[in-house]
Every structure is written in C-alpha cells, then in structure tokens.
Chains A and B, each alone.
Chain A
Amino acid sequence: MHRYEKAVLEALRKKHPLSLDELAERSGVGRDGMLWAIENLSKERLVEVSRTESSEAILTDEGAHYAASGLPEARLLKRLKEGTVKVSAMQEPEEQIGFQWAKKNGLVKIVGGNIMLSEKGVTDTEEGIAAEKVLRQLSKDPASYGFLAKNSVEAISELSKRNLIRVRKRSRIKDVSITQRGISADLSGRADEGIGALTKSMIASGEWKGKSFKPYDVNVPVERRVGGRLHPLYRLMEKIRRSYISNGFLEVHGPVIDSAFWVFDALFQPQDHPARDAQDTFYLSGIDEAELGEKDYVRQIKNAHTKGWRYRWSLETAKEMVLRTHTTNVSAHYIYDVFSKIGEESASIATPLKFFSLGKVFRNENIDYRHLADFYMTDGIIIGKDLTLANLFDTILKLYGWLGTEIRFKPAYFPFVEPGVELYAYSNELKEWIEFGGAGLIRKEITGFRRKTMNVLAWGVAVERLMQIRPGCNVRSITELYGNSLEWTRGRGGMNECLL
C-alpha cells in the first residue's frame, strides 16, 4: 500500500466521513495525490465516495442567437407597439415561433385575424420579457443558474422547454467515508527499507551515513503548484508601454468620463455625426458639466464646425457628459495644453513632443459573444515642426514592429485628421489583413491655423485587436479575453510567451 493510501485510510479511521479539504488537512497528502489514493481505495472498496451535484446552464445555438438579438416574441411585441399586425403576416419561421410563444404566454390576443397586445403584453413590452432577461443573464454567467432556478422558476422552465438552454450537471466529491473493509485492512504492509523522509536532525547528526534511501515511485501524481498569473491583456499592455517608452514617448492619462466637447467637438466630429448618436455612445446623467477649454479655444472649435460643416453648433450639446468612445480625448486635452502654452510667437518646438495614453473606451453595444461595450485603446501623438505623413508611417512601423508581421497603410477618413490613414497588419493565422487602428495628421482647425509648420501626428490602436494579430496568441474572438474564469487564466499560461 502506498503511503498516500495509508495516510488517507489512517485519517478516515480517526474520523469519517470527511470532506476533501478536511481529508487533505488530516492526511497531509497533496490534493492530486489524495484524489489518486481515493480512486485506488474506492476501487478496492476500502472507502466509499459520496458526491453532490450542482448545475449550470449553457445556451444552445438558438439560445445564444436570441440572447444577442432578443426573443422572437419580444420583437413581435415591439412591432405591435406600433400597431396591429395581421396573423397572416407571420410568415418567417422566427415570426411563427414568436407568435406561438406570445400566444401561449398570453402576451397577445387575436381579434378578427389581427394580433393585438394583451394587458400582460403591454406590461411586458414596458418591462421586458422575463425569459429574455434570464436568458441574457445566463449568457453572461452560466453559473447564475443556481440562483435563477430558485428565483425565476417559470422563466427557467420555459427556456428549458424551448431548448434554449441546456443544464449541465457537475458532479463533485462531497465526502469520503471508510468501509468495514477499510477499517479492518492491514496497513502495516512490507517493512520500509532505508530512509524515508530526510529530516533536519539526520542531516545534523550524520545519521544518514551508510544507509540507503527508500526509492519513491516517481509516477505518483502530485498537486501542481499554481502561482498567480498575470492576465494576458495586462502583459500585452505592458508590451505596448515598453514599445512606446523605448521610442521616446511619455505616458499621460486623461478622464474616462469626459464632456462631448473633448471626445467629439474638439476632434472636429460634427454634432449630428452618427458616432455621437445615443445608439453608439453612452451618455451619463446627473453629472455636473466638465470644464471646457478657454473661451477662445471654444470659439475656435465653434467656428471650425460652423465653417467646415455648415450647421448651428450648440454649446449645450458639447457640454453633455459621455463615456469616452476613444482615448483620443486625452490627445485632444494635450494638444490644447501644449498649444495654449507655447503661444503664437514661439510657434515652434525644438524637439518634437511625444505622448501616449492607454485606457478603456466605451461603445453602446448590446454585448454578446462577439461584441463588448468596453475595451482598451491606446493613442499616441507627436507635436513638432515639419512633421510629415512619411514620419507617421515610420513611427507606426517602429512602435508596432514587435507584432512580427507586415504592416500596411491605407487611405481612410476620420473627421479630425487629414490626411487620414487606416493601419492594417497581416495575420498569418487568419490569412487576412486586419485593421488595428487609425492615424493621420491632426487638422489645423484643432491646432490653430496660425502655426502653419507645426504638425501633430496622431494615431489610435485597438489593444485587444493586437492579440488577434500577434502570431502565437491564438485569440480568435476578443470576448475570449474577458472569459475570466480561473480555469481560463491558468489554461492560457503559455500565451504569455508571445507577449514577452
């Protein structure tokens, strides 16, 4: 009998049943070794294992689809809110499904061939369908099934019936007890030959001299030591920072919550630009207005908008508070700071100024397995005399050379730069060119026309995207990076190599 098996049995003879943790503590055997011993002992029926089961819910393909696009009956309710719909209009399979469930759950009534909202339907249109809320919750957090199964019984049962979720049982050892056979089993076994564990006193006294050491079975499993692991995304950001500072850039930071002025207006984004739409940008409530720039600067931006885009620029719209949609707001703050300090007479700077920032940005997206509402971005700027598009290309190549793949520049349009550039890198794994950022020369409407030879090179890069490009990282989808179970961080350990 192996000493692990012996230790486990001995512990159980003193007290049983024991949970795994108690058994580990009492037997002094590491977890993997103990599990190995328990398995052997239970095969010989010396111990008995009792298990508990817990559950989690996994979305089926159909479930995942609805979690992203909404349940079909919810879409029907939305249509009905705008007026009645004929029963005969329910043609598509999903329309049929939505109609059937809306009927079944009493959300609609049929009056003379027309579908209309029932009283319950009106409430659910306002408040959302319970099953849909539960489905979305499960898509983010399968383990919340336990909580939901108790608190949202009807919704859970409907989702199971509709085959939108699949419940997965997880069996785990609850406790281990000893059998009659185990109590009477002979533990003495063969007398140990030679020294077992080497002790401090043996080393001091020299007792070990002239004796042999008992050989160990090197194949006995041991518990793996798991150190704390840094998140791959954190390592990637460290790498980006190293690249910036080795190219002479200073790190700066700026607000996550900022006024639309700095996020959009100061970057020449017209106030009716679709990106500023509530569909794309998170607007905040109950926050005092942030400081805009000096009056002169606000006037400069207002004039640029009025002249360039030909509309009535509104200060109120510029004062709205938003979650920044890009880290370029930090660049806008620094461009303003630098130009307001250097004044007009000394319209040049001997050495170009190089800044970068790195942080979270936000898009008002419905989150699902492909979309995130917040992710990291990094922006860089160089302010100096006679800077060119050719300088910009060179800078990008130096900063992102570590990607180890070909980089290409394409014409592109962003309101605040001219010329504008899109940055592409070739992914050897996906066999395609992947866009990873935008760049350009900042418009003089922003920096001020009077400094003719002063240019600002600017670029922004989507951080997570770099992980898809860098060979060896094997990240297919960006949401994968936010899986965030310890199983994942431990499993992805090897990825760190590609980020050294």
Chain B
Amino acid sequence: MPVITIDKRYLKRLTEPDLGDEKLAERISKLGFNVESMDEKEISIEITSNRPDLLGAVGLARAINHFSHKSKRFHYQITEEAPLLEIVVGAGVRKTRPYIASLAVTGLKFDEVSLANLLNATDKFTETYGRQRKKIAIGLHNLDEVSAPLRYDAYKNEKFVPLSGTGEMAYSDIIEKTEKGRRYAETIPKSGAKRFPVLKDEKGALALIPIINSERTKVTKETKNLLVDVTGISEYLVNKTADLLAANFMDMGASVRKVQIVYRNKTVITPQLSTDSVRVPVSMLENEIGVEIGVNNVGSLADKMGYESSYTGNIVNFLVPTYRFDVINEQDIVEDIAIAYGYEYIRPAPIRSVNSGGLDTLTIYRSSITEAMAGLGFDQMMNSYLSNDQVNFTMMRMPVEKSAVRIRNPKSESITMMRTWIVPSLLRNIAASQNVPSPLEAFELDMAFTMKNGKPIEGYHMAAVSAGSRSDFNTIKAVYESVSKEMGVECKIEAANHPSFIEGRCAKIVANGKGIGFMGEIHPQVLNNFGIEEPTAALEIEL
C-alpha cells in the first residue's frame, strides 16, 4: 500500500493549525489509515489502495475536516459552463493511449510548500493508482504559456526542450537516454515505433506523454494559472481523475474552467464532476454492522465521510462525492458508516449457535506420527518448501529432474523450485548443528511437491536423519519399523539403488505395489557436499 509523506504544518494549516500531533495521528487512525512515522517536519501515512483521493495533503485534509464536522462541502460545481479551451484528439493515439481529460485552473496562490505537495501528490497518484503512469498520467502546465489550438496525437520523431533540460532533444533520445524516459518507456509502443504520443499547442510540444513535459510551460511558485491534462487507457478513470483534481484545486481556493475534448466520433467536456447516488436501507446498515443507529443519526455519520444524505422512510440516499473512485455499491457505504460510527464503539456480539468443531482427519494422522517421532528422540524441524536444483538434486548426487514444480519468476538462485523431498532440508539442519553432541537426530513432517503428467502433486512426507558415529542402515531401519507401524500401512522394503545413498545400503519402501520412499546410509560425497562430518542415515516416506 502506498505511503505518503507530507509536510505536517501544511496538513495542519489545511485542517486545524493548533491541532496537537497526537490528536492529528488519532484522527487519521480513526479514518482507517496508519501513521507510519512523524517528526518535526513531516508525517508519513499509509493510504489504502482504494482511496486514491487521499494521496496528498489536500485530499487527506478534506477527509479529516469532514470527519471532525469541520467541513460540509459535499458539492463541487463549475458555474462557467463554456469550455475555456479545446483539445482535438488525433487518430494516432487510438490504439495506444486513447483518452484524455483536461481542466484549466485559475487564481492559484502557490507557495513552496503547496506547490511541492501538489507535485508530490500527482506523482504518488500516477505511480501507485496510475500503475507507473501506464493506467493514468497527469501533466501540469503553466496555462499562460499555452497557446491554442491544442492537439493530442501521435507524431513523428521531433525535438523539444524537456522539463529541466538544457537543450532540444528528440523524442526518441528522451526515451532512450534519460532516466525518466527509460523508466516509463514501456508505456510507449515497443521499439521501432515511429510515432510518439504528444500533446501540442500552436508553438510545439507541451508534453511527450506520459514521460515528460516541456520546459516552456514549466510550473513554478509564481504560476497563477494551470492547464492540466490527464491521459490513460480507461475513459472512465481518466475523467474521474480530472474530477478529483478539480475538487482538489477548488479546495485550494482556485477556480476551475472546463476543457472540451474533441474525439473523432464524439465531444466530451471535462471535468464532468460526475456523482453517483446509492440507496441503502437503514436496516442494511444496522444488520451488517450489528449496531442500532436509527435513521435520524445516519445523516451525521454520512457527513463525517463526506456524503450528502437524505432519507425517505427507512431508505437513505447517499450522494457519492465526485472525488471518490471506490464506491461501487451499498457495501462500500456500509463500511464508511461503520468507520464513522467508530469500530471501537461496536460492541462484540456472540453468534448464538452451537457447532461441533473437529480436526481434519489428515491432521490427526500427522499428529500421531509426529508424536511417535519425537518419542523416538528425534527433534522436529520446520523448513522452507522452496528450494533449488543445487540443494535438492546436485548436492544429493542426483540428476536434475525436469519434473519438479518450477518457479517462472525467481528473484534469486536460491529459490527456483518447490522441494521434491525433505532429506536435503534436514541435511542442512544437521550441517548447522555440528557443535551439538552426536548423534544428531531430526525429522520433519511436512509437504514436498512433485509433478505427474503436468499436474502438481502436493504430498505430506515424513523424513528423518540420524548423524553420528553409530548411525547406520540399521539405525534408520529401526525408525522405519516404528513409523510404518504408526502409519498403519502394510509396507515392504526392497534393496534398491539411489544416488544419494551408499550402494548396497539403501532400500526402497513399497506399499500396495507403489514405491513410497527410500532409506539408507547417505553417500559420503553428499556428506562432503553439505559439510557433514559424521556418518548419516536417512529415511523419507510419503504419507
């Protein structure tokens, strides 16, 4: 989940300047977010991924103000209906990044802190919710430097001065040679692309989308008016993002003007500031949360979460604010009302029913074998299910078997597959225990994984090792006798060869005509490979 770090004093300035640190943290926590850290200057908060509207100080302050009844702003409207600008969308972007929304902002009064917060919040939003700009990207431009007409289209490789750049650069060079370009390169169609998504005005490129803006329209502390573009692959999300940004700018005290987007087959005016309404019966709120609320009290709880509400009879109508993306249906409203009510005030209520519980029979079976093994003096081990060819096969003198369950996207060489057996794990345990007086005797009863005809087999195995000067085939056979009795399965043993064991001192365990395991004296080369100094005998049975 994303963690945002914001200027603490700025957040207080937007909420209550005199609020103590602890009170501030408590309010954020009651809203359902964790304060990760706080110092003199900054506060870091983990924002859950369903609330992209809270990824900056302005949005967070709005939620805090609603929650403490300090704000009753539920509506965001633009009085001036006529669009200030027009952006024509060309056919070149139709297959790659087809949607754009835009808004114009006037009358901004930035200072260092509020500008930094805006840029950080925008970046956080596009990195997390926007999936590294793949899904949504946002561009901010100085409106006073923009000259109509505007066009968003795919263009041939041309040059412009990118933000903070020293000179003109070709689009292709920006993508290949700058850090940002490489970072977001995958949002642009693969190499060989001759055309690049660009937003242009009369004077040239405003932005190579979604990578970098132009130096010409750079936003600074002195900027009073902005042109904002939002691009992406979902029209709904692009438009909603414009709504969210419009609400944020209005909360910053600026005015917002609309922009007309001309697609090939339709014209859209953004921001739309769309809202939804959801009807929820009071009984549903009460029955899901398990508290009595009463229709008269729902309004105040709705206020706390930023919903305008009204009711007829027992049905409450909630107006979902324009900046919320995550409210799908009444269940989401139930949660918000529960948060407003306060989880700490919900009194735990027992479920009035009697059930008889019980363990999985396999669990009981495994427990009896586990206890038998501990009774024989073996220490229980619990190891990772994950392994690699080196440990699972090579160090065991086995050829690498293709039939193991393999990981497609390993991060390291130590984890590339699921273990096919447990003995290698136990040999590592023995190797790590050599300052303990011998004999070292350990067992593990847990899962190992193999493949058969393209299907994974998830099995429980019991493996045991005994390492010490007198640990030999008979030592481990004695253990096998005990265990097979406990298993209640008729087993036979047959002399067998297995590369991990000394030839002539290894047996295969057979039940119902099927091999279910091996036991024997571990081959000295294997002992050398693991760095084990004493003779070791081992056993492994599939349960």
Which residues from chain A sit less than 8 Å from chain B, CB to CB?
19, 21-22, 31, 54, 82-83, 128, 133, 136-137, 140-147, 170, 226-231, 233-234, 238, 241, 244-253, 255-257, 272-274, 278-279, 282-288, 307-308, 310-311, 321, 323, 351-352, 354, 360, 362, 364-367, 372-374, 382, 384, 386-391, 393-395, 397-398, 408-413, 415, 418-421, 441, 443-444, 453, 455, 481-487, 489-490
Smallest CB separation, A135 vs chain B (Å): 11
Candidates A366, A395, A412, A487; contact of B436 at CB < 8 Å: A487
Q: How far is the CB of B288 from chain A (nearest CB, A)?
A: 6
CA distance A352 to B353 in the complex (A): 7
Q: Which 7 A-B pairs have the closest CB atoms?
A: A388-B290, A390-B290, A411-B32, A248-B355, A245-B357, A413-B48, A394-B348
Q: Are B454 and A288 in contact (CB under 8 A)?
A: yes
The interface residues of chain B lying within 8 Å CB-to-CB of A143 are 431-432, 434, 530-531
From the candidates B135, B287, B348, name the one contacting A386 in the complex (CB within 8 A): B287
Within the assembled complex, what's the spacing in Å between the Cα atoms of A366 and B373?
33
- A487–B430 alpha-carbon span in the complex (Å): 10
Minimum distance in angstroms from B272 CB to a CB of chain A = 15
Q: Is there contact, CB below 8 Å, between B351 and A395?
A: yes
- Which of B111-119, B148-156, B194-202, B376-384 forms contacts with chain A? B376-384
B437 contact set on A, CB distance < 8 A = 31
Tell me if B380 and A489 are in contact (CB < 8 A). Answer: yes
CB distance from B302 to the nearest CB of A (A): 15
Partner of B287, one of A128, A354, A382, A388: A388
A249: nearest chain-B partner, CB-CB: B357
Stretch of B80-88, B246-254, B316-324, B330-338 that contacts chain A: B330-338
Does A145 lie within 8 Å of B531, measured CB to CB?
yes
Residues of A within 8 A of B360 (CB): 251-253
B191 at the interface (CB under 8 A from A): no
**In the complex, chain B residues whose CB is within 8 Å of the CB of A443:** 331
Interface CB pairs A-B, < 8 A, 24: A141-B431, A143-B530, A145-B531, A228-B375, A229-B374, A247-B357, A248-B353, A251-B363, A257-B405, A274-B131, A282-B407, A286-B406, A307-B328, A308-B328, A310-B236, A321-B456, A386-B287, A410-B34, A419-B288, A421-B343, A443-B331, A481-B382, A485-B433, A485-B436
Nearest B residue to A411, CB-CB: B32
Q: A83 to B373, alpha carbons, bound, how many Å?
A: 58
Does B291 sit at the interface, judged by CB under 8 A? yes
Cβ-defined contact, A374 with B407, below 8 A: no
Q: How far is the CA of A256 from the CA of B460 in the complex (A)?
A: 12
List chain B positions with a Cβ less than 8 A from chain A. Answer: 1, 29-32, 34, 48-51, 128, 131, 135, 177, 182, 234, 236-237, 287-291, 328, 331-332, 334-335, 338-339, 343-344, 346-351, 353-360, 362-363, 367, 370, 373-386, 405-409, 411-415, 418, 428-438, 440-443, 447, 449, 451, 454-456, 458, 468-470, 528-531, 533
Cβ contact within 8 Å between A257 and B449: yes
Q: Told that A285-B408, A373-B386, A394-B350 touch, could you supply 9 new A-B pairs with CB distance under 8 A?
A: A143-B431, A146-B531, A228-B373, A228-B441, A231-B381, A311-B234, A364-B411, A409-B344, A413-B50
For B131, give the chain A residue with the smallest CB separation. A272
Contact B343 A352 (CB under 8 A): no
Nearest chain-A residue to B531 (Cβ)?
A146
Query: Which A residues lie within 8 Å of B32 (CB)?
Result: 410-413
- B291 near A418: Cβ-Cβ < 8 Å: no
Determine if B380 and A231 form an interchain contact, defined as CB atoms under 8 angstroms apart: yes
Instruction: Determine how close the nearest CB of chain A comes to the CB of B216; give it in whole angstroms.
Output: 27
Are B358 and A251 in contact, CB atoms less than 8 angstroms apart?
yes
Tell me whether B358 and A147 are in contact (CB under 8 A). Answer: no
Tell which of B287, B334, B442 touches A418, judged by Cβ atoms closer than 8 Å.
Answer: B334
- A228-B451 in contact given A394-B349, A486-B440 (Cβ < 8 Å): no
Q: Which residue of A lies closest to B457 (CB)?
A: A257
Most buried by B among A137, A286, A367, A415: A286
Task: Using known A-B contacts A143-B432, A272-B135, determine if residue A284 contacts B335 with beta carbons closer than 8 Å.
Answer: no
- Pairwise interchain contact B406-A285, C-beta atoms closer than 8 A: yes
Residues of A within 8 A of B430 (CB): 486
What residues of B have a CB within 8 angstroms of the CB of A489 in the complex?
A: 379-381
Among residues of B, the one whose C-beta sits closest to the C-beta of A309 is B328
Q: Decide: A388 and B407 in contact? CB cutoff 8 A.
A: no
Question: Shortest CB–CB separation between residue A196 and chain B, in angstroms?
Answer: 27
Q: A140-B414, A287-B456, A360-B385 are in contact. Are A412 and B48 (CB under 8 A)?
A: yes
Say yes or no: A441-B428 contact (C-beta < 8 A), given A228-B376, A352-B355, A382-B351.
no
Residues of A within 8 A of B354 (CB): 248, 351
Q: How far is it, in angstroms, between the C-alpha of A291 and the C-alpha of B409 when the chains are bound?
A: 23
CA distance A412 to B1 in the complex (A): 11
- Minimum CB–CB distance from A52 to chain B (whole Å) comes to 9
**Contact A490 to B528, CB < 8 A, known contacts A144-B431, A249-B357, A374-B385:** no
Known: A366-B411, A418-B334, A444-B331. A230 touches B348 (CB 8 A): no
Q: How far is the CB of A342 from chain B (nearest CB, A)?
A: 17
Q: Complex: how many Å from CA A226 to CA B528?
A: 27
| Contact of A287 with B454 in the complex, beta carbons under 8 Å | yes
Complex CA distance for A288 and B455, rounded to whole angstroms: 6
Residues of A within 8 A of B31 (CB): 411
- Whole-angstrom distance between the alpha carbons of A237 and B94 in the complex? 55
Closest to B443 in A: A228
Taking CB atoms, residues of chain B closer than 8 Å to A231 are 379-382
Nearest chain A residue, comparing its CB with the CB of B355: A248
Q: Are A410 and B29 in contact (CB-based, < 8 A)?
A: yes
> When the two chains form the complex, which single residue of B347, B379, B412, B454 contacts A228, counting CB atoms closer than 8 Å?
B379
From residue B489, how far is it (CB to closest CB) to chain A in Å?
20
Q: Are B351 and A397 in contact (CB under 8 A)?
A: no
Given contacts A419-B335, A484-B429, are A351 and B348 in contact (CB under 8 A)?
Answer: no
Contact of A411 with B351 at beta-carbon distance under 8 Å, contacts A226-B377, A228-B379, A246-B357 already known: no
The complex places the Cα of A441 from the Cα of B418 at a distance, in Å, of 34
A341 to chain B, nearest CB (A): 18
Docked Cα-Cα span, A394 to B291, in Å, equals 13
For residue A285, which residue of chain B has the nearest CB?
B408
* Chain B residues near A54 (CB-CB < 8 A): 434, 533
Which residues of the partner chain A approach B412 to less than 8 Å between Cβ atoms? 136, 366-367
Interchain CB contact under 8 A, A21 and B455: no
Known: A248-B357, A384-B351. A284 touches B380 (CB 8 A): no
Say whether B288 contacts A257, CB under 8 Å.
Answer: no
Complex Cα gap A83–B178 (Å): 10
Query: Are B355 and A287 in contact (CB-based, < 8 A)?
Result: no
Contact yes or no, B415 A373, CB < 8 A: yes
Q: Chain B's nearest CB lies how many Å from the CB of A238?
A: 8
Contacting residues, chain A, for B533 (C-beta < 8 A): 54
Check B431–A250 contact: CB distance below 8 A: no
Q: Once the chains bind, are A374 and B384 in contact (CB under 8 Å)?
A: yes
B355-A484 in contact (CB<8A): no
Give the complex CA separation of A410 and B338 in angstroms. 11
When the two chains form their complex, are residues B48 and A389 in contact, meaning their CB atoms are under 8 A apart?
no
In the bound complex, residues from chain A placing their C-beta under 8 Å from that of B1 are: 413
Complex contact B414–A286 (CB within 8 A): no
Closest to A142 in B: B432
Q: A residues within 8 A CB of B385?
A: 256, 360, 362, 374
Q: Report the nearest A residue to B403, measured CB to CB.
A: A286
B455 touches which of A22, A287, A410 (Cβ 8 Å)? A287
Q: Is the CB of A128 within 8 A of B449?
A: no
B529: contacting residue among A147, A234, A246, A486, CB under 8 A: A147
Q: Is the CB of A391 within 8 A of B382?
A: no
CB-nearest residue of chain A to B350: A394
Instruction: Determine how close the nearest CB of chain B comes to the CB of A58; give it in whole angstroms.
Output: 12
Picked from A230, A256, A364, the residue with its CB within 8 Å of the CB of B374 is A230
A410 touches B343 (CB 8 A): yes
A354 and B357 form a contact (CB under 8 A) = yes
A419 contact set on B, CB distance < 8 A: 288-289, 334-335, 338-339
Residues in A with CB closer than 8 Å to B335 are: 411, 418-420
Q: Given the known inter-chain contacts A310-B234, A390-B347, A486-B440, please indicate yes or no for A141 contacting B428, CB distance below 8 A.
A: yes
Distance of A4 Cα from B418 Cα, bound (Å): 50
Complex Cα distance, B34 from A275, in Å, reads 19
